[in-house]
Structure 1
């Protein structure tokens, strides 16, 4: 029996069942015993332990206790071929002969989860194989960099601390699907979840643990699944309000400075009007309080933010410092920071040495006792909500910490990677995540720096990491034009803070702050996959489509293609210009100057600016719940909520503000109310009903100044400008009603406002008319020579300035000229497209359908199972094996040497080759190859030169060496010349012929 339990085998047939006090005990023919716990509604635990010890572990932050009442409601019975436990609408079905398990939900009349093979067990691993449906999509797994929707992918459940594409910052053994179930494995052992990369009909779930301790979670929505997951691991933290505003991570202990020439790209101008560069050992030492030279101190940085009028909420001044911090020195800094209204934080390698004055903590060791860190913070200030920041994690940590990381690249591709990363984190139960604006290292591209900060204004955590690079990362480090843009976005963040704080409370109930399209528009299948993973919705009202490449027009405006605005019944309004867009289509060739981030407000939105100031975009029926609390640990019992509803019916707008529910200390009971309502024309009249009193006709005033001095009334402002910080960047004014309602008891009084002759965005959903006068599209064809794995190009005869294209049912608009390229397509997939001409609201008939198939993904032709050796050592953390793992996040780096560096690649057998691609490390300019010698071995022993030496430019582009017609046992690449004194690469990939 012991031999059977340690050898690799499938779980045998079910031979017996016993009902215990709070669980069912299952016995199998192969000797295993399993327990089935009915935890609570929709949560079931299946626990198989080959040792039969069933010892509870501390892997989870919260050990779930089964609900005895729920267990008592269950009844069980056996048939000739299965054992069934029924509780509520759920049937847990255990097949006797096959040992397969499934859960059937009578509420929806279908099976939620079903195993297709018995559990595979060995002394080291357990593997579960479940059925995967064609329209089933998978989410979770933790912070899987660059990924949020995993259908057809294999994800590693193993934290590697790597922040780039394909790295795993925080693995979580939890996933869920849109079919309404999730699984959470109670283990810290590494694993892998294959959601169809090998077989699209099954998901293969494996962990390096002989114990199979699994929680099955059933839910009818993503929110319900995440709520039930939180009941096992603990809900997400509720951060203090200050932690949601802009922060600064810096090291003011280790760096030193020396004078530099102004033209040096690393030179920074300081208060003494001299330029300095950061060095390892310089004359001027940084400090917290200016112990040596004040202008290089953390205090001076605080003063800089104040002097330049850039909002700053918190600072950690010893981030990743190698020096111990004198508690008295930190106390002096903390006292100074608090006087300026800035919250001091402290970075520590462990959880034991937090100084008394720290209000937040950054912890280096992910295995630290994070609850103990927060307990230590709470001990200093028992009423304050504690928060700690971690860079990565080994277990579900959302209850005690937020994830903040900095070493992301300062290039365009890293923006796309981070967007998908944030989406995946939220869907994994980690809603509070942030990445340094501009990254921690590199970043010489000012345009990337601006665009990166812009979109991160709308993410859960917002901060910079400075002093880890020769270049400054502060928002005022660039020229005045760029600094003005960055200041405007920092101010915008504070304007959105009440909205973000309310979303933070929702996060505890299973709603991430940053959401993929499918969470708000579940009826649209396009949002479930990776098609538009470069945009997101903040809450349920703000859609952000970041600029993710350097494409621009002749005036320097960014050109953004493929912005999808969901739902054809929704109008979307540009936050900054007020331009309106119909939902349900993909917009292309939209132009954005540097200050302008593509941000769209959902029609009907009610944005909370705090202190009962609301901005309304009336459209249809909508509602919003304003939330506020005392910002202390007892917020669950001390909070206030106010429901605001808006309805547009024909030309009448009705706005209802319900009495405020709840209370917290220092809540002002009598308050004024301000409404800023966008409109397209002057209204007829405004009437206000207060409670059950008679209707009051609001008086109109002729200017904002006269309204300010009035108790109550309205002003029709034809040049209303909001957000405020952008007025000097662009004339964004547009008509709005500014309404002031006098001070009233907010807990007792219901307000109902009626606006007659109201119009806003009513014309946007006018259907386009097919006009027979417009000629039929002609010469519509796909350029077959330009079809790739992820793009295809369409051409047509131009007869109108603009055309519309439909691709697999999705409408693309905003297309001019006579040629257009679809990008970001799936490889090896059939697409159908057609075209019609567009002229205003009139369109022609559609062209005939064209069917085209994209090429196979080049990655599919990369040769696997080869080995690499080098004649020089590798730098720690950058081994040569990283050359072959096909993950852009990892990189190889040689030790420093002046000698040629030989890399020998050996295949499993003699292999036909097509080419080899050397992918440089994009994050650093050093280590790139300038000259490479290639040698071929046909016997695995002797090598002969292949052609002449290959020369390359020193840029970050891939270096390609053609090997067509070559068959080899091994290939040796000798790097003869390089930039810097070491060699580096993200990967070196060998390709087989594309037709093989």
Structure 2
């Protein structure tokens, strides 16, 4: 009977008995299963049901050797009632229903249920399925590197690794998720899974893995940071990066490429030091060709050494370089050693790319591994042998398990694509929420990317991400930051210098990542009380740590002068002032800003009021607001950093017109720490203060003021009021305006003994911005505020009104949108099939009118709801490897179908689509590949079958333009069992498509 149940699909039977063993509780069920419950630690519980009843650790397990805390088990109590068995562990009650076998966790500390199963476990010889109840305001996160997604509420995610870099691909599937209800779950299996968070099951989450064993760790925590920190106790804390890994990196191939003299300035030609143009690729036998090399064995300018020289010549910082990235030929180790020695002489850290050999060549300081099954721990150990004191750095492009303690993830996507920016922002957010804080996407992608505007916009926002690098030599176009004209190079140079200034801040965040604080964070991690931040409404912006908000330019939308226009920027918290990093403009929090204009050099970056930045060497920048605390961190940047580190706490208190700054004594020590140090404080302010008093260890004195920066520089201690200050001076020439600030210089003191207090009177900054807008009766009531229903779509609503002031404010479901000009506006990125409630008021400075009456609106259903599912596809031509025909129907943007056969009228490529039953159709949409111009359909024939065997022509031949726009064919009134498409002509060679979907008629 038990063997039959192990192989048959059935629900877990009622709980019939419980035994207390040496360090676990043993649960017996009527269907023959036995489960064990371990109390791993405070707030971490393991439920392990093994149908074989062997309870042995296997290779399928994700984590091994997890031992329960004997003290937790000893302190726990258990009792049974008439209908349940309860384990009391700390504040948590683990409740097992007897009749239903349902499991739940109730937390007495917060007086609510953290998680509850909605149905008994479903088991079979192949799968183990759990169904959890889902609350209305519950949001789900995790799953690993799920490209383009970070919030999974209402979605289905695949827990696997497919190596696909674009949207909906999975570079690292992790069987771990958590919710804002305060619990996380780690399924202890390497098997593939599907997590359906109410995408098709109403108010329930269905969690399936292809494993007969149900082994789950349940984690209880009051914050994302606490949940992630407990998750790390099971899977390993994130590694601590070497400082150079936070600088600019270059992954290139100086082994395989052949450079050919270009005929004139071709679109993809690159100008080299000899003032001639060259292109990658084979020659036709007439042009001169040169081979790339590590040290210039053929021609120096095509070598890895020359690339280092190039960065330095153009005054671009370069911190690390991997010279054989994705090389097909093996790199000669002696040549590599010579290159690596040269790189180190130039201050560049050399790395090495490999697929299988995890032993680094001499002088290599990092390994880039292109094998998701590689033993990353072995690679790290080998790097340590080569560099005993340095922190090892391993890079991967995908992974089959959590990699945070062993490696960082660096991948390349399509360059020159606006949608890739939104996808990558969400990817980085989701990875951090999955416990994978260190990853990055190549600037301007790995392939494609010949758009200068896109290249610079992509670099701008990636300066504020954990890893910053380019992947060169994988595309026809150069990806280096100096590949374009001097104007663009100057902008990129400014951002890279800003990155250098932010390295102490980034390194501090890297240390905090070990405690569950991701570097790139969604807004809700800093503003947990704002529910609007939990979903994906503002998934195209992020916090870099607690102090910087970045809203990347995510579209080519521009005004008549070509200046980028950014809508939909949400700055959280009504009590926070946000300061534009480059211009100093101040904006009130708690509202959405629209029609913001940003010239090419300016990225929407906002500093949170109250922020304190450590620029290194006790050089601090202050944006005072209220009470703030910042803990500066540094260490020896070696493997022994856990024993050699130091922190300094800086606090500010601004009340009315008095500012106090406190620098606490430094704690900790590392060998290069200078005990005697001065300090420089740069404090933004609006007016000249009255006076500044300095107190050191209780002894007070008045700071002397100096009239020029030069005199202050010669003084031992004092301050200067600067009307033209900027801590990002490289942007001044680009258009950033100078601001007012106090420059305070403090003398050298013993930093481990001295407590420094500064008191500044008559101080003013930013707080004046926190004023309520005044309702002015002189502003007339809004007139004719209405919905333009003809423009309503699944994700947008358009409203219009009588214009009486240049700007208006519109409230949408309680959220205030401001900066809206004219008399018509379209809200985009809305949820499909959702009700919205809107009202409008006029705005004039700090005065506003009364609100209009509310209008009601509802977005349409998502077009994808009408896609016919269960379709099977077959093609007459063989697919290219990695691009099967099934990708046409998988609803993932990143996948596509390709065939090498080029269609002709005499020998067309046919695609046959069979429906599950005869269906009514409205249209088909053929989505061409967007990456290149190859294989786009130009002429197509459609045939319809009502029996799946006999096909009849539908209309004449359809002709299309050679662009990447969707090809739509109307099928209204058609009833079919199958459809056959015959492509008679296509662009370039081969044929391909991102997707082909069939739609049923829209139902009103």
Deviation at 1:57, TM superposition (A): 3.0
* Separation in 2, partners of 1:846, 1:156: 46
List runs of 5+ in structure 1 lacking aligned partners: none
* Separation in 1, partners of 2:356, 2:756: 53
Stretch deviating more after TM superposition (719-728 or 2-11)? 719-728
User: What is residue 156 of structure 1 aligned with on the other side?
Assistant: 158
CA deviations 1:484-520 (Å, max 9, x no partner) are 1111111111100000000000000001000001000
* Separation in 2, partners of 1:711, 1:40: 54
User: What is residue 778 of structure 2 aligned with on the other side?
Assistant: 773
- Asked whether the equivalents of residues 935 and 988 of structure 2 are also in contact (C-alpha less than 8 Å), the reply is yes
User: What is residue 551 of structure 1 aligned with on the other side?
Assistant: 557
Deviation at 1:938, TM superposition (A): 2.3
* Separation in 2, partners of 1:362, 1:304: 23
1:453 and 2:459 correspond: yes
1:353 and 2:359 correspond: yes
* Separation in 1, partners of 2:269, 2:944: 47
1:420 and 2:426 correspond: yes
* Separation in 2, partners of 1:553, 1:57: 60
Deviation at 1:895, TM superposition (A): 1.5
CA deviations 1:656-712 (Å, max 9, x no partner) are 10001110111001111001111111111111111111x221111111111111111
User: What is residue 743 of structure 1 aligned with on the other side?
Assistant: 748
Deviation at 1:624, TM superposition (A): 0.5
Q: TM-score if structure 2 supplies the norm length? A: 0.98
- Asked whether the equivalents of residues 63 and 232 of structure 1 are also in contact (C-alpha less than 8 Å), the reply is no
1:42 and 2:43 correspond: yes
- Asked whether the equivalents of residues 372 and 398 of structure 2 are also in contact (C-alpha less than 8 Å), the reply is yes
* Separation in 2, partners of 1:386, 1:872: 47
SS in 2 for 1:965: strand
CA deviations 1:520-561 (Å, max 9, x no partner) are 000000000010000000000000000000000111110000
CA deviations 1:54-112 (Å, max 9, x no partner) are 11135435532111111111111111111111111111111111111111111111111
* Separation in 2, partners of 1:84, 1:845: 56
- Asked whether the equivalents of residues 901 and 909 of structure 2 are also in contact (C-alpha less than 8 Å), the reply is no
SS in 2 for 1:610: coil
User: What is residue 998 of structure 2 aligned with on the other side?
Assistant: 990
CA deviations 1:904-937 (Å, max 9, x no partner) are 1111222111111111122222111122222222
1:824 and 2:829 correspond: yes
User: What is residue 790 of structure 1 aligned with on the other side?
Assistant: 795
* Separation in 1, partners of 2:527, 2:461: 22
1:925 and 2:930 correspond: no
1:960 and 2:968 correspond: yes
User: What is residue 621 of structure 1 aligned with on the other side?
Assistant: 627
* Separation in 2, partners of 1:797, 1:887: 42
Deviation at 1:602, TM superposition (A): 0.0
- Asked whether the equivalents of residues 62 and 234 of structure 1 are also in contact (C-alpha less than 8 Å), the reply is no
* Separation in 2, partners of 1:156, 1:206: 10
* Separation in 2, partners of 1:211, 1:280: 54
User: What is residue 218 of structure 1 aligned with on the other side?
Assistant: 220
Q: How does 1:594-673 map to 2 (within 5 A)?
A: 594-673=600-679
1:439 and 2:440 correspond: no
Q: How does 1:456-495 map to 2 (within 5 A)?
A: 456-495=462-501
List runs of 5+ in structure 2 lacking aligned partners: none
* Separation in 1, partners of 2:697, 2:956: 88
Deviation at 1:315, TM superposition (A): 0.3
Specify which of 883, 887, 901 is matched with residue 882 of structure 1: 887
Deviation at 1:721, TM superposition (A): 2.0
Deviation at 1:199, TM superposition (A): 2.2
Stretch deviating more after TM superposition (227-236 or 60-69)? 60-69
- Asked whether the equivalents of residues 413 and 420 of structure 2 are also in contact (C-alpha less than 8 Å), the reply is no
User: What is residue 243 of structure 1 aligned with on the other side?
Assistant: 245
Deviation at 1:280, TM superposition (A): 4.3
* Separation in 2, partners of 1:472, 1:273: 16
Deviation at 1:439, TM superposition (A): 0.1
1:308 and 2:314 correspond: yes
User: What is residue 924 of structure 2 aligned with on the other side?
Assistant: 916
Q: TM-score if structure 1 supplies the norm length? A: 0.99
Stretch deviating more after TM superposition (920-929 or 162-171)? 920-929
- Asked whether the equivalents of residues 61 and 396 of structure 1 are also in contact (C-alpha less than 8 Å), the reply is no
Q: CA RMSD in A?
A: 1.1
Deviation at 1:722, TM superposition (A): 2.4
Deviation at 1:728, TM superposition (A): 1.7
* Separation in 2, partners of 1:466, 1:261: 22
1:907 and 2:915 correspond: yes
Deviation at 1:472, TM superposition (A): 0.4
Deviation at 1:975, TM superposition (A): 1.5
- Asked whether the equivalents of residues 456 and 462 of structure 1 are also in contact (C-alpha less than 8 Å), the reply is yes
SS in 2 for 1:496: helix
* Separation in 1, partners of 2:414, 2:69: 44
* Separation in 1, partners of 2:864, 2:601: 37
Stretch deviating more after TM superposition (978-987 or 461-470)? 978-987
1:52 and 2:53 correspond: yes
- Asked whether the equivalents of residues 351 and 370 of structure 1 are also in contact (C-alpha less than 8 Å), the reply is no
Stretch deviating more after TM superposition (415-424 or 402-411)? 402-411
CA deviations 1:368-425 (Å, max 9, x no partner) are 1101111111111121111101101111111000111013342000100000000000
CA deviations 1:98-140 (Å, max 9, x no partner) are 1111111111111111111110000000000011000100000
Counting matched residue pairs gives: 995
- Asked whether the equivalents of residues 160 and 169 of structure 1 are also in contact (C-alpha less than 8 Å), the reply is yes
* Separation in 2, partners of 1:62, 1:243: 30
* Separation in 2, partners of 1:211, 1:631: 43
User: What is residue 85 of structure 1 aligned with on the other side?
Assistant: 87
Moved over 6 A (4+): none
Pick closer, same or farther for the CA change 1:468–1:544 going to 2, 3 Å. Answer: same
1:936 and 2:944 correspond: yes
1:65 and 2:84 correspond: no
